[in-house]
């Protein structure tokens, strides 16, 4: 039997002891399941994800749930960055443990179980220090942080002071929506891709936007414009975003389809 650790909010501990772990996460290809990591001789490596997961908030801190899986259980294993490109390998649980143990630097690796974990598979639930592991990315400590809109930790501890100390040339606030729409109109028909992508960049900093005016870009001949449209509207709360993403999920360009899959993995 292979032993793994799943990290979750302490508020879930009682339910997990009673009913197991729900398949509440999406893995490679949109499959629902549970993320975990093999128990290694190194305590720090075994619990490396604690500090990163704690950035996203947890009720009562995080706890470590030890689970035992049949050696033949099929799982996905690989670095977290391989997930979007379909690079994680489907192997048995025993093979996943072997691969992680043999990697020179297993930081950033993960194992995904494509199903729920039953209560009989839960070995124990215990507290874990909340400062173990890395933040942002393995090896990020000592590296100058990027404060661009895509990288910065919005709402995180010290984020405002960091942006004030290290302003990024492409920081907001974005121009008003009417100004951006005028730029899109001035780009012509079907529109200059460079001008359209620049406008979509600024639209991506907004919480809502004129979705009906931008939806026409889903038919633009340049796939880069269609891909940037995905990233721009995905975080919006405007009604109709899900329908537009459904439409772009069937786009003929693989980069556009992968962008839709990536934003939906973050939901």
Q: Are 108 and 100 in contact (CB under 8 A)?
A: no
Among the residues of the chain, which ranges form H helices? 13-19, 43-46, 50-54, 93-102, 159-165, 177-186, 193-203, 211-214, 223-233, 241-248, 254-265
The per-residue pLDDT for 150 is 63
Q: Which residues of the chain are under the pLDDT cut of 70?
A: 57, 149-157, 169-172, 266-267
* Separation CA 12–CA 62 (nearest Å): 9
**Angle at CA 239, nearest 5°, toward 238 and 245?**
90
DSSP 115: S
Burial of residue 188 (CB within 10 Å: 0-12, 13-18, 19+) is: exposed
- For the stretch 236-263, pLDDT in tens is 999 999 999 999 999 999 999 999 988 8
The per-residue pLDDT for 237 is 92
**Angle at CA 152, nearest 5°, toward 111 and 224?**
80
Q: Are 113 and 32 in contact (CB under 8 A)?
A: no
Hey, where are the domains in the chain? 2-127, 144-172, 177-265
Among the residues of 65-176, which ranges form H helices? 93-102, 159-165
Q: Are 212 and 236 in contact (CB under 8 A)?
A: no
CATH class of the domain whose range is 2-127: alpha beta
Q: 3-class DSSP state for residue 82?
A: helix
Residue with tokens 């960049």: 201
For 239, phi then psi, to 5°, come to -60, 140
Q: Are 225 and 200 in contact (CB under 8 A)?
A: yes
Burial of residue 221 (CB within 10 Å: 0-12, 13-18, 19+) is: exposed
Length of the chain: 267
Sign of the CA dihedral running 52, 113, 79, 47 = positive
Task: From 41, 35, 2, select the one nearest 109 (Cα to Cα).
Answer: 35
* Separation CA 108–CA 134 (nearest Å): 9
Question: How far from chain centre, in Å, is Cα 112?
Answer: 14
Whole-prediction pTM: 0.62
* Separation CA 103–CA 218 (nearest Å): 42
* Separation CA 136–CA 255 (nearest Å): 25
Pairing assessment for the beta strands 25-26 and 62-69 based on DSSP bridges: unpaired
The per-residue pLDDT for 153 is 65
* Separation CA 113–CA 93 (nearest Å): 9
């Amino acid at each position: 039997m292979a032993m793994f650790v799943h990290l979750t909010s302490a508020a879930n501990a009682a339910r997990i002891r009673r009913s197991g772990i729900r398949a509440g996460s999406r893995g490679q290809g949109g499959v629902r399941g549970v993320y975990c990591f093999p128990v290694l001789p190194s305590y720090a490596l075994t619990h490396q994800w604690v500090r990163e997961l704690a950035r996203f908030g947890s009720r009562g801190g995080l706890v470590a749930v030890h689970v035992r899986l049949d050696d033949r259980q099929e799982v996905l294993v690989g670095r977290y960055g391989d997930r979007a490109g379909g690079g994680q390998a489907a192997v048995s649980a025993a093979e996943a443990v072997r691969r992680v143990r043999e990697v020179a630097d297993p930081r950033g690796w993960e194992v995904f179980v494509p199903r729920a974990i039953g209560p009989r598979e839960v070995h124990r639930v215990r507290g874990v220090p909340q400062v173990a592991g890395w933040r942002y990315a393995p090896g990020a400590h000592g590296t100058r942080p990027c404060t661009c809109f895509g990288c910065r930790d919005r709402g995180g501890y010290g984020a405002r002071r960091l942006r004030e100390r290290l302003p990024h040339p492409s920081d907001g606030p974005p121009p008003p929506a009417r100004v951006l729409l005028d730029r899109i109109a001035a780009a012509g028909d079907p529109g200059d891709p460079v001008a359209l992508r620049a406008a979509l960049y600024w639209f991506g900093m907004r919480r809502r936007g004129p979705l009906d005016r931008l939806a026409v870009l889903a038919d633009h001949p340049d796939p880069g414009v269609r891909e940037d449209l995905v990233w721009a509207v995905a975080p919006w709360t405007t009604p109709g975003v899900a329908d537009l993403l459904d439409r772009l999920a069937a786009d003929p360009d693989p980069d556009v389809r992968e962008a839709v899959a990536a934003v939906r993995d973050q939901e």
